[in-house]
């Protein structure tokens, strides 16, 4: 009589034996360098290693992450999660607009930047407020009127449109209001991963927590002048659409251009422009007020790739705006992890970790790279390797110097060049 358990063990042992032999034959081959080898290619001859789960799963979600479900054979696990999304972030909705955020509280890797995606209806107001961090923002749809005052007391009122940026230094007060016909949508980046949209200092709460006689003394009016103030915060509320920009500026005693806080990023001249796409930069060199945030607006055409590079001076916070892509990040260890991204997603790359981004869709891929620094900096792998004695590189990589001389020089940003 055959012992079924014994028989199962023998079958399992023989499968394991065949797999082990296959594995050792493939170990440390080109495109699959690690021991023990990782990646689906190692199980190609072993049907017992199923490629897809048959247990509980959400295919709508799983299908968005093909690179997680079947990573490239060059990947090695071990990086902290560097994907997050506004798509599944809690939306705080009030009359006049909404906001949702991705902060360090739910995206642990993101220590330098927190992000907020906000909508304001036409006339919808994000209440007058300030906070401990600087606020950088890009308008992604519609129009908005913004007000602020700088540290020398110079006020500004501006209208921002799709593709424009604004920057409010830490602690300076401001407001936002959606304009017609359909309000606006934008993404804020605070220069601290712990900043939350829900812990800003609000005008309504401040006034409500000052005794009436102090308000009277401060503003030189009778105490009952404030008897109708709101007793709880407004945060976002539906207001009346403002009049013309010129009229608002005149009424607010603003000298236009005295304290510029906006920049037309999408209309700016690209720093890089190749057959593969463009990179437009906004940092303190061309947008002087933006002392703590540098940004790159990247467009990668179908089939193109944001070249292999890293940033020596800051972590990179990404906002994925259009199209589909995947990013691979390399760190010491070695570790190499690939992840897929869709519009509304957020990515994060630690300072000096090598990375590249492929357009995996059929249309343009557009995303933002945001850095908590005054200056955009990057190291291009091809630019570095083409500014070394070719023989030195040849001895490292075991490829002829003549091949290395064909690499693109100058850091194209996007390939193909
Ligand atoms: Mn703010
Ligand atoms: Mn980068």
How is residue 17 written in tokens? 């034996």
In the reported structure, the alpha carbon of residue 298 is separated from the centroid of ligand 2 by a whole-number distance in angstroms of 10
- For every residue of 63-112, DSSP letters joined together read TT-HHHHS--TT-B--PPP-EEESTTSPPEEETTEEEEEE-TTT-TT--S
> Could you list the residue range(s) of the whole structural domain that residue 295 is in?
77-377
d(CA 280, CA 26): 43
Q: Are 248 and 157 in contact (CB under 8 A)?
A: yes
Ligand having the closest approach to the CA of 170: 1
Task: Identify the pLDDT of residue 316.
Answer: 99
Check whether residue 50 and residue 189 sit in a common domain. no
- pLDDT, the chain, mean: 92
- Residues with Cβ within 8 Å of 20's Cβ and at least 6 positions away in sequence, in order, are none
Check whether residue 338 and residue 417 sit in a common domain. no
Per-residue pLDDT band for 21 (boundaries 50, 70, 90) equals very low
In the reported structure, the alpha carbon of residue 75 is separated from the centroid of ligand 1 by a whole-number distance in angstroms of 39
Ligand having the closest approach to the CA of 101: 1
- Residues with Cβ within 8 Å of 397's Cβ and at least 6 positions away in sequence, in order, are 404
Ligand having the closest approach to the CA of 199: 1
Which candidate in 213, 369, 377, 378 is catalytic?
A: 369
pLDDT digits (tens, 9 = 90+) for 51-86: 788 899 999 999 999 999 999 999 999 999 999 999
Query: 69 in a domain, yes or no?
Result: no
In the reported structure, the alpha carbon of residue 311 is separated from the centroid of ligand 2 by a whole-number distance in angstroms of 6
Higher pLDDT, 367 or 16: 367
How is residue 405 written in tokens? 């001389």
Q: How far is CA 387 from CA 313, 380, 383, 394, in A?
A: 21, 11, 6, 13
Check whether residue 298 and residue 412 sit in a common domain. no
- Residues with Cβ within 8 Å of 44's Cβ and at least 6 positions away in sequence, in order, are none
Residue 150 has what DSSP assignment?
-
Check whether residue 161 and residue 54 sit in a common domain. no
Evaluate if residue 262 carries a pLDDT over 60. yes
pLDDT digits (tens, 9 = 90+) for 329-356: 999 999 999 999 999 999 999 999 999 9
d(CA 175, CA 137): 13
Query: 39 in a domain, yes or no?
Result: yes
In the reported structure, the alpha carbon of residue 135 is separated from the centroid of ligand 2 by a whole-number distance in angstroms of 21
Q: Are 166 and 124 in contact (CB under 8 A)?
A: no
In the reported structure, the alpha carbon of residue 370 is separated from the centroid of ligand 1 by a whole-number distance in angstroms of 17
Give the mean model confidence (pLDDT) for residues 47-54. 86
Check whether residue 278 and residue 299 sit in a common domain. yes
d(CA 353, CA 334): 11
Of 266, 23, 190, which is closest to residue 32 (Cα–Cα)? 23
Check whether residue 255 and residue 130 sit in a common domain. yes
Query: 72 in a domain, yes or no?
Result: no
Task: Identify the pLDDT of residue 27.
Answer: 54
The total number of structural domains that make up the chain: 3
pTM over 0.95: no
Task: Identify the pLDDT of residue 42.
Answer: 86
Strands (E), 43-199: 83-85, 92-94, 97-102, 114-120, 124-130, 135-149, 155-161, 165-168, 174-178, 184-190
Task: Identify the pLDDT of residue 2.
Answer: 37
Q: Are 105 and 160 in contact (CB under 8 A)?
A: no
Q: Say whether 369 is catalytic.
A: yes
- Helix H or strand E encompassing 336: strand 335-341
Dihedral angle, C-alpha 299, 300, 306, 307, nearest 10 °: -120
Check whether residue 58 and residue 89 sit in a common domain. no
In the reported structure, the alpha carbon of residue 30 is separated from the centroid of ligand 2 by a whole-number distance in angstroms of 26
Task: Identify the pLDDT of residue 41.
Answer: 86
Q: Are 142 and 177 in contact (CB under 8 A)?
A: no
d(CA 61, CA 177): 35
Residue 2: count other Cβ atoms within 10 Å of its Cβ: 7
Evaluate if residue 33 carries a pLDDT over 50. yes
Ligand having the closest approach to the CA of 279: 2
Ligand having the closest approach to the CA of 313: 2
Check whether residue 303 and residue 396 sit in a common domain. no
How is residue 167 written in tokens? 């920057």
In the reported structure, the alpha carbon of residue 118 is separated from the centroid of ligand 1 by a whole-number distance in angstroms of 11
Q: Please, where are the H alpha helices in 195-320?
A: 203-208, 212-219, 245-251
Query: 70 in a domain, yes or no?
Result: no
Give the mean model confidence (pLDDT) for residues 20-32. 60
Check whether residue 9 and residue 55 sit in a common domain. yes
Check whether residue 37 and residue 84 sit in a common domain. no
Query: 71 in a domain, yes or no?
Result: no
In the reported structure, the alpha carbon of residue 369 is separated from the centroid of ligand 2 by a whole-number distance in angstroms of 7
Check whether residue 361 and residue 387 sit in a common domain. no
What is the CA 195 to chain-centroid distance, rounded?
15
CATH number at residue 129: 2.60.120.10
Give the mean model confidence (pLDDT) for residues 241-248. 97
Query: 309 in a domain, yes or no?
Result: yes
Check whether residue 82 and residue 187 sit in a common domain. yes
Per-residue pLDDT band for 370 (boundaries 50, 70, 90) equals very high
Evaluate if residue 383 carries a pLDDT over 90. yes
């Amino acid at each position: 009589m055959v012992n079924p358990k014994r028989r199962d063990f023998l079958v399992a042992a023989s499968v394991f034996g065949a797999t082990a032999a296959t594995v050792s034959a493939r170990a440390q081959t080109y495109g699959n360098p690690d021991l023990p080898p990782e990646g689906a290619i190692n199980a190609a001859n072993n049907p017992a290693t199923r490629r897809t789960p048959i247990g509980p799963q959400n295919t709508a979600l799983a299908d968005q992450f093909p690179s997680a479900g079947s990573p490239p054979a060059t990947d090695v696990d071990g990086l902290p999660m560097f994907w997050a999304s506004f798509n599944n972030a809690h939306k705080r909705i009030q009359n006049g607009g909404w906001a949702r955020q991705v902060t360090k509280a739910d995206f642990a890797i993101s220590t330098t930047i927190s992000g907020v995606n906000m909508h304001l209806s036409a006339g919808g107001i994000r209440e007058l407020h300030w906070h401990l961090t600087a606020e950088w923002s890009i308008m992604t749809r519609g129009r908005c009127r913004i007000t602020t005052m700088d540290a020398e007391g110079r006020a500004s009122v501006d209208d921002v449109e799709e593709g424009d940026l604004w920057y409010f230094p830490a602690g300076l007060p401001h407001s936002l209001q959606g304009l017609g016909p359909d309000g606006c949508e934008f993404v804020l980046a605070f220069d601290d991963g712990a900043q939350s949209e829900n812990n800003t200092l609000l005008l309504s709460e401040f006034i409500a927590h000052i005794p009436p006689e102090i308000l009277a003394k401060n503003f030189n009016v009778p105490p009952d002048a404030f008897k109708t103030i709101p007793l709880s915060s407004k945060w976002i509320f539906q207001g009346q659409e403002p009049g013309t920009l010129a009229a608002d500026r005149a009424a607010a005693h603003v000298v236009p251009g005295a304290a510029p806080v906006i920049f037309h990023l999408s209309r700016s001249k690209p720093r890089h422009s190749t057959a593969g796409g463009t990179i437009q930069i906004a940092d303190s060199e061309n947008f002087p007020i933006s002392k703590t945030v540098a940004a790159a607006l990247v467009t990668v055409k179908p089939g193109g790739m944001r070249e292999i590079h890293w940033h020596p001076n800051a972590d990179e916070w990404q906002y994925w705006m259009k199209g589909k892509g995947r990013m691979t990040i390399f760190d010491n260890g070695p570790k190499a992890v690939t992840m897929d991204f869709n519009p509304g997603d957020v990515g994060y790359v630690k300072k000096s970790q090598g990375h590249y981004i492929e357009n995996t869709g059929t249309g343009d891929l557009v995303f933002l790279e945001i850095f908590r620094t005054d200056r955009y900096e990057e190291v291009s792998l091809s630019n570095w390797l083409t500014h070394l004695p070719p023989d030195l590189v040849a001895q490292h990589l075991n490829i002829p110097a003549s091949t290395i001389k064909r690499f693109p020089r100058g850091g194209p940003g996007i390939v193909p060049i």
